[in-house]
Amino acid sequence: MKKKTRRRRCKSCHDLFMPDPRHLKRQKFCTKPECKTDSTMHSQQNWLKKEKNRDYFSGSEHVIRVQQWRKENPGYWKRGKSKKTPALFGHALQDTLLANTSDGKGF
Ligand SMILES: [Zn+2]
């Protein structure tokens, strides 16, 4: 018996194609150049979506809260060097913790 490779329908041109066995699960586009372009765009969009979601859930909300808190407590951040790193991701989350803990104890 011959091994049967399931054919797939390309998400872009809707033609049937034989997916590369190594990428069986991931390949949703055939090997036509225009579909490859589509595939690249598709995965990039997916990636962007994921990034956005991640930002949305674990980032911006906290960042905004921290930024607001910073506005209300400007003196706090003048201690030490004011770092304006683009990677305030980890910082922001830490800051949130700080903000939360110092919030209830009154200023
Ligand atoms: Zn195609």
Task: List, for residues 56-99, the tens digit of each pLDDT value.
Answer: 555 667 778 888 888 888 776 665 555 555 555 555 556 655 55
Rounded distance between C-alpha atoms, residue 6 and residue 24, angstroms: 9
**Residues, CB-to-ion distance under 5 Å, ligand 1:** 10, 12-13, 30, 32, 35
**pLDDT value for 17:** 93
Residue 102 lies in a domain: no
**pLDDT value for 46:** 82
The pTM (predicted TM-score) of the whole model is 0.40
Residue 85 lies in a domain: no
Residue 45 reports pLDDT greater than 90? no
Residue 2 lies in a domain: no
Residue 37 lies in a domain: yes
Q: How many domains does the chain have?
A: 1
Tell me the pLDDT band of 23, cut-offs 50, 70 and 90.
confident
Rounded distance between C-alpha atoms, residue 45 and residue 12, angstroms: 15
Which residue did the predictor score with more confidence, 15 or 3?
15
Q: 40 alpha carbon to ligand 1 midpoint, in Å?
A: 12
* CA distance from start to end of the chain: 78
Residue 55 lies in a domain: yes
Residue 62 lies in a domain: yes
Q: 31 alpha carbon to ligand 1 midpoint, in Å?
A: 6
Q: Which domain holds residue 15?
A: 8-74
